[in-house]
Amino acid sequence: MEIVCVQGLGLVGAAMAIAVASAKDEFDNPKYAVFGVDLPNDSGQYRANSLNHGKFPFSTSDTKLLQSLEQAHQRGNLQATTDPVVYSKASIVVVDVQLDIPYLEDEPQLELAGFQHAIETLGKHIQPDTLVLVETTVPPGTCQKIVVPILHMELAKRGINGDSVHVAHSYERVMPGEDYLASITDYWRVFSGNTSKAADSCERFLENVVNVEKFPMTRLESTLASETAKVMENTYRATNIAFINEWSNYAEAVGIDLFAVVSAIGMRPTHSNIRYPGLGVGGYCLTKDPTFAPAAAKQFFGLELDFPFSRLAVRVNHEMPLNTVNRLIELMGGSINQKKVLICGVSYKQDVGDTRYSPSELLVRSLSEHGAVVTCHDPFIKYWDEMEINLVENVPQSHQFDAVIFAVPHQYYRDFDLLSWAHPGIVILDANNIFSLELRQQGRTNGLKIESIGRGNGL
């Protein structure tokens, strides 16, 4: 079997390693022996040990992903390590390494050191004719300006022609949740290579991992174009979400249901992807990716280009949770000082245990700044790293609180028996369209004060 290394065992890399290990030939035999590789630190060792014991290192609701991991573990074609020497055995290396940017700064500078070190590590170990496939969402120009030069430099130190290694880019669209694994294997791919041979090698590899018959791949003319595609599609979505924010405020002020309005608009096919109101934007991609193109244009290509929509979208999306804070203050008569508030949901997305860039973080910080005493619950999270706090294991009794904000639409909360739990007089703010009209009406009949982001009072 060919050996494939996946560099980085975060939420993308760990799932990608399972997807590659699940690839089969026409005789139902595994096509690849897969090594997941992470840094030799505490988190890297934990992730590697978890996979080596057949356990996924992150909380997930995707049973297919867990089953595929168990099967790969039983077959023995998926292992994990923190030893970079294993790269020397690989014919294919998939790069899933985090690349950050301080996206809220006026002139954010790309934080390339960690990513560069990862590529240097590859250059010290990989052999000629290896395919290096970058899946990481990177600033446009990264393969051309960073990956290829570093690999050539490191390979030259070893007396190896840099052109003997093939660099390609094909960005992930991983969506943790119920369809976590399917977002890799049953989803469209865009790809390209720094040479035609690299693109061909990338295509042959991905055809074994992705269901290309139902989800055909798109080949672009350069890695720069492929990198741009990922950043642009995430910027488009982030801008779409930011756009809906002002209309959400409008709907609450004038007393209409914006969800009904958006649904009506969405009947027109050209407008079917308009976003809905909510707490705000979170996660590793939509928060920061709109700043990648402006930063790369200047830092990689020396271009002074303006991206006003992208910059504004980042600011609007970051501050969106403050609308929920203001709405709660209004519902509680103008002050939440010393009020006890329960937050239900702190992950950035429903049915996942990932709190990176979660809008609930700003929500909780702002509530606390206004004097509220905040308690947090999430069915997928026990300890909130960014806030350095423990979460309650179960939803506490309602009489302990003056208000509750349902911040994340976990299925756990959709199935939650709100009417039996809540005591009359408690303020309930649904920040993500979790509860139905019938439930809201019944709750008001029972003496609950229940309102929604994106809807006027009483709707």
Using DSSP bridges, classify how beta strands 131-134 and 32-37 pair: parallel, antiparallel or unpaired. Answer: unpaired
The answer to whether residues 229 and 190 touch, using CB atoms and an 8 Å cutoff, is yes
Q: Residue 106 is encoded by which pair of tokens?
A: 């006026």
Rounded distance between C-alpha atoms, residue 75 and residue 84, angstroms? 23
Q: Does the structural domain 2-232 have CATH classification 3.40.50.720? A: yes
Q: Hey, where are the domains in the chain?
A: 2-232, 256-452
Q: What is the pLDDT of residues 146-196, one digit of tens each?
A: 999 999 999 999 999 999 999 999 999 999 989 999 999 999 999 999 999
Measure Cα distances from 64 to 19, 26, 71, 351, 366 in Å: 11, 21, 10, 15, 38
Is there a shared CATH topology between the 2-232 domain and the 256-452 domain?
A: yes
d(CA 208, CA 206): 5
Q: Are 455 and 252 in contact (CB under 8 A)?
A: yes
Task: Indicate the pairing of strand 389-390 with strand 383-384.
Answer: antiparallel
Tell whether domain 256-452 is in CATH 3.40.50.720. Answer: yes
Q: Kindly report, residue by residue over 197-256, the tens digit of the pLDDT.
A: 999 999 999 999 999 999 999 999 999 999 999 999 999 999 999 999 999 999 999 999
What is the pLDDT at residue 226? 98
pLDDT at 126: 98
Residue 428: partners with Cβ closer than 8 Å, 6 or more residues away: 403, 404, 406, 418, 422, 443, 448, 449, 450, 451
- pLDDT tens, 391-432? 999 999 999 999 999 999 999 999 999 999 999 999 999 999
Reported pTM: 0.94
Computed on alpha carbons and rounded to an integer, the radius of gyration of the chain in Å comes to 24
- 247-300 per-position pLDDT tens digit: 999 999 999 999 999 999 999 999 999 999 999 998 888 899 999 999 999 999
Instruction: Average the pLDDT over 119-146 and give the result.
Output: 98
